[in-house]
Amino acid sequence: MNSPDPIIHIHDLRKVYKTGKVAVEALRGVNLDVAKGEFLSIVGPSGSGKSTLFHIVGGLTPPTSGEVIVAGENVSTVGDAGRTELRRKCVSFVFQKFNLLPNLTARDNIRVALYISGKGDSGFTAEFTNILDLLGIAGRLDHKPNEMSGGEQQRVAIARALATAPAILLADEPTGNLDTANSLAVLALLRDLNTRLGQTILMITHNVEAAEYGDRIVHMRDGQIVETV
Amino acid sequence: MTSRLVWENIAHRPLRTLLSVLMIAVPVTLILTLIGLSTGFVDDSRRRQNGVGADILVKPNGASLIGFTNATMPLKMVTMLSGEPHVTQAMGEVVATIGGFDAIMGIDPPAFKRMSGGFDFVSGHDFQAPDDILIDTWWADQNHVRAGGTQSLLSHKWNVAGVVEEGKLGHIFAQMEPLQEIEGGQGKVSQIYLKVDDKANIKDVIEYLRKKYDGFPIVSMEELQSLISADKIPLLSTFLRVIEGIGVVIAFLVVSLSMYMAVLQRTREIGILKSLGATRGFIMTLMLAEAFWLGFGGTVVGVILSYGAAAAIHAAMPASLPVAIVYSWWPIAGGIAMGASLLGALYPAMIAIRLDPIEALAYE
């Protein structure tokens, strides 16, 4: 898909990992544009390169070659500090394992993200409070992760990701650790957030049913995009 | 938010925090106790020497100015020295060590009274019999001895005739002649105190005596006071420096190990912070702030433990080792502990900031 004003633009992206003397080509010339406000699902088997693509778009690792522009930032040319800045300002993550800080309450987990992004952690805006209501965790903010169910933890993780109003929300198998009911609830939430707030979402999943929640589904295999639906 | 994160990290693993704080407290306690010992000993010596009321001290030929000396000087030197120009009084003293840092001071009571103004009695009475001893309040309290009791010292049974105020010459006093007999040093003294007619003449008198009594250590009491300090006693000052060094190394290793463990334990959390966009500076600040508070906690606990160590020394060796609480060393010991803590946290912090966020997030 060639969007006229893509928020993510990827051209001939390659990534090679070196394990000892062995070079593993994880991405082999990926081309992809994601429009602002789009909900894109990326599916593929293990080793297809979807996680590597996710990590590069999120600024967690640099590409080996190719062009990657995320929210106007050329990720392929910036260094570690530049990628940190990208994570701080433009993208947010939702992980399969929730990745909440275990020592902190849900509220403080969200506040940490706000503090790091430089947006101030003194209080939540009315808009964000509405999001908390939408996520159904407004009453669970003073609980620590070990006092919450998996579904609740993932909602807190989504709230933390949205708190900084990122240009792009990157979700890596967000339902991988949830039961069916919670999985459906989280997917419906992501769909709702995309529809109501116009939040750009890039979701990785191996679950084809989950991928159906996206506007578009990209299939990957052996480090390449093989099909776009 | 930074302080909140640091505090939660410290509070989340109480056992690790407690062990780190206690380990950092060890060198702090060690330093403060040794400084307290040296200072207490020095202050006690100074106070007692000052209480003699003398101007000049003469010790036996070849003897050290610091420390106890056996009775090797002939008593007739007291008479000789009392006849020297500007010397108004000479007083001989026999020192008989009884183990540890304690000694019985054998004195000529009338001469001692003339030079020092005499004892201030708290209870009991002055010497009446050859086996009488006087003890000062400090020694009496430490050993739970009262006037009218007996003490077995130098294989001899003594009657405690009286308890006197502390601060003059020693803690235990006997008459010179009986002590000379017990020590087998009849007609000999350990050191001689001199009083001169005018303080302004002290320097000239010392110069004159040094020429006349070549080889005898002769020193003004003022100079002796300045010599009795931890810095001026070569072995003691070296010992203290070594202990300080050990303290730094212990605190450094403890914090380094503790923070390294913390980095390992928190690898995933560091990965989470990195995924949120935490900068290297932010993560470094977290690690160093945690080390700072561990060092601070160790300092506070170390200071508290130094009181316990002082009490333990008093209980184990009563009347032997006066331990002072030296407040001025609290910030120094704290500085050493906290400096070493920060230094020890640097390497683990460097590891933390260099962690690959993807590997860190995958860490189980």
pLDDT, tens digit, for every residue of A124-174? 888 888 888 888 888 899 999 999 998 899 889 999 998 888 999 999 988
Tokens of B268: 């995933």
Closest partner residue to A112 among B5, B357, B358, by Cβ?
Answer: B5
pLDDT for the residue B67? 66
**For chain A, what is the radius of gyration of the CA atoms?**
17
Taking a C-beta distance cutoff of 8 angstroms, is the pair B290, B6 a contact?
yes
Residue A132 or residue A4, greater confidence: A132
Q: Does B244 lie in the same domain as B166?
A: no
Question: Contact B273/A88, CB-based, under 8 Å?
Answer: no
Report the top-level CATH class of A38-60+90-228. alpha beta
Lowest mean pLDDT among A64-73, A98-107, B252-261: B252-261
Best mutation target, B6, B7, B275, to test chain A (most A CBs within 10 A) = B275
Looking at residue A58, its amino acid is G
Tokens of B269: 């959390």
Q: In angstroms, how far is CA A4 from the centroid of its own chain?
A: 22
CA angle in degrees (0–180, nearest 5) for B78-B83-B85? 125
Does residue B356 fall inside a structural domain?
A: yes
Residue B62 backbone zone (phi > 0: left; psi -120 to 50: alpha; other: beta): left
* Alpha-carbon gap, residue A92 to A164, rounded angstroms: 8
Taking a C-beta distance cutoff of 8 angstroms, is the pair B164, B134 a contact?
yes
Q: Does B203 lie in the same domain as B168?
A: yes
Look at strands B56-58 and A39-43 and give their pairing.
Answer: unpaired
Domain termination residue (choose one: B156, B185, B216): B216
Does residue B344 fall inside a structural domain?
A: yes
- Model confidence at A40, pLDDT cuts 50, 70, 90, reads very high
Average pLDDT over residues A63-89: 92
Three-state DSSP state, B131: coil
Q: What ipTM describes this predicted complex?
A: 0.90
Q: Does B161 lie in the same domain as B255?
A: no
* pLDDT for A193 beyond 50: yes
* Alpha-carbon gap, residue A62 to B131, rounded angstroms: 92
Look at strands B87-99 and B121-124 and give their pairing.
Answer: unpaired
Taking a C-beta distance cutoff of 8 angstroms, is the pair A193, A155 a contact?
no
Q: Which domain holds residue B118?
A: 60-216
Taking a C-beta distance cutoff of 8 angstroms, is the pair B160, B151 a contact?
yes
Tokens of B35: 């400084």
Taking a C-beta distance cutoff of 8 angstroms, is the pair B293, B18 a contact?
no
Question: Contact B361/A89, CB-based, under 8 Å?
Answer: no
What is the number of structural domains in chain B?
A: 2
Closest-approach residue (CA) in chain B for A102: B269
Q: Does B302 lie in the same domain as B249?
A: yes
- Model confidence at A1, pLDDT cuts 50, 70, 90, reads very low
Query: Any residues with CB less than 8 A from the CB of B159 and at least 6 apart, and which?
Result: B129, B131, B132, B133, B149, B150
Q: Does B211 lie in the same domain as B85?
A: yes
Tokens of A49: 């390169």
Which residue's entry shows tokens 């990590």? Answer: A55
Does residue B224 fall inside a structural domain?
A: no
How many C-beta atoms surround the C-beta of residue B165 within 10 A? 13
Taking a C-beta distance cutoff of 8 angstroms, is the pair A154, A189 a contact?
no
Q: Does B37 lie in the same domain as B78?
A: no
Q: Does B309 lie in the same domain as B210?
A: no
Residue B256 or residue A3, greater confidence: B256
Interface check A39 vs B, CB under 8 A = no
Question: Contact A112/B269, CB-based, under 8 Å?
Answer: no
Name the helix (H) or strand (E) containing B198.
none
Tokens of A200: 């750009």
Q: Does B32 lie in the same domain as B88?
A: no
pLDDT cut 70: percent of chain A above it: 98
Looking at residue A184, its amino acid is L
Three-state DSSP state, B45: helix
Three-state DSSP state, A131: helix
Question: Contact A61/B358, CB-based, under 8 Å?
Answer: yes
* Alpha-carbon gap, residue B344 to A104, rounded angstroms: 26
Q: Does B189 lie in the same domain as B82?
A: yes
CA distance B289 to chain A (A): 17
CA distance B244 to chain A (A): 36
pLDDT for the residue B139? 87
pLDDT for the residue B136? 92
Q: Does B159 lie in the same domain as B35?
A: no
HSE of B281, CA atoms in CB hemisphere, 13 A? 4
* pLDDT for A3 beyond 60: no
| Averaged pLDDT score across all residues of chain A | 90
Q: Which of residues 98-137 of A touch B (CB under 8 A)?
A: 99-104, 108, 111-113, 115-117, 121
Query: Any residues with CB less than 8 A from the CB of B73 and at least 6 apart, and which?
Result: B58, B59, B60, B61, B92, B188, B189, B190, B191, B192
Taking a C-beta distance cutoff of 8 angstroms, is the pair B297, B341 a contact?
no
Look at strands A200-205 and A39-43 and give their pairing.
Answer: parallel
Does residue B198 fall inside a structural domain?
A: yes
* Alpha-carbon gap, residue B344 to B364, rounded angstroms: 25
Q: How would you write the pLDDT of chain B (364 residues) with one tens digit per residue?
A: 788 888 888 888 888 889 889 988 988 898 888 888 878 877 877 788 778 889 999 988 877 766 667 778 898 999 999 999 999 999 999 999 887 668 899 999 999 999 999 999 999 999 999 999 999 998 898 888 999 999 999 889 999 999 999 888 889 999 999 999 988 878 899 999 999 999 999 999 999 999 999 889 999 988 887 776 656 666 667 777 787 788 778 777 877 787 777 777 778 888 999 999 999 999 999 888 988 998 899 999 999 999 999 888 877 766 566 788 889 989 988 888 888 888 888 888 888 888 888 888 887 7
Three-state DSSP state, B321: coil
